[in-house]
Amino acid sequence: MQTTVNLWPLIGVLVIVIGFVLRFNPMLVVALTALATGFAAAMPLETILATIGTGFIKTRALPLIILLPLAIIGLLERHGLREHAQHFIGRIRSATVGRLLIAYLFVRETTAALGLTSLGGHPQMVRPLLAPMAEGAAENRYGKLPEAVRYRLLALCAATDNIGLFFGEDIFVAFGAIALMHTFLLGSGIDVEPLHIAFWGIPTAICAFIIHAVRLKRFDSRLERELGGQQAAPTLPAAVSQE
């Protein structure tokens, strides 16, 4: 017996794509998408409005959770957080980009394995602290970095955070993916304790750490080959020099 599937509600996808391509107001696009999808699904106008209102009430605190940390970080950056981070790492003569990122990778992976996944992240750690410190370590040795090298360095900082989080959280027994694997295996007749699944994530995390650490050391060697002949000019961030 075949059942006819109504594909018209998918018109909402088309509406949102067209709206974002034409750069209309995002709130207007989302509202029109909700209306188009609801009408295509033969929902009464009262039901559509009630659904939108229920969704708004459930997520009304979400913008505060997302925007408040960004506002705090922006305020810290305005008062010289990035410059102070660069100045601090510049005092450590033995610091290199590779050594700094290897240390961060170890800390990020270890804390993620303990379930502390929110201690790092791109907006709250990589952009305001890790990336300026990596730039400071490189400029302390090689002077002003070419734009291509600087962007490569920033990408490596972001990748280091991603790798540490991804492979570290797989060791945490209460992580959602472990619960999903446990449920899937149990449905297939294989009873494996979540603790055992998390335990066997440790060899993978160790391998990921070693492989990425080697990549970071190779990046150090690449910087030495490309920029080793440059004379590092002693620079002091403007925000720090005014103190």
Please give the structure tokens belonging to residue 93. 């003569």
Mean pLDDT of 81-109: 82
Write the single-letter amino acid at 124: Q
> pLDDT confidence of 70, banded at 50, 70, 90?
low
Band the pLDDT of 214: cuts 50, 70, 90: very high
- Sign of dihedral through CA atoms 13, 15, 16, 18? positive
pLDDT at 116 over 50: yes
Q: Which residue has the higher pLDDT, 64 or 150?
A: 150
Instruction: Tell which wins on pLDDT, 91 or 64.
Output: 91
The pLDDT score that the predictor gives to residue 237 is 47
Residue 243 exposed, middle or buried by CB count within 10 Å (0-12, 13-18, 19+): exposed
Q: Residue 10 CA to chain centroid, in angstroms?
A: 30
**Mean pLDDT value across residues 221-243:** 62
Q: Which of 46-50, 84-88, 102-106, 208-212 has the lowest mean pLDDT?
A: 84-88
Q: Is the pLDDT of residue 86 over 70?
A: no
* CA–CA distance, 103 with 89 (Å, rounded to integer): 13
Measured CA to CA, the distance from residue 146 to residue 93 in angstroms comes to: 21
Global pTM? 0.65
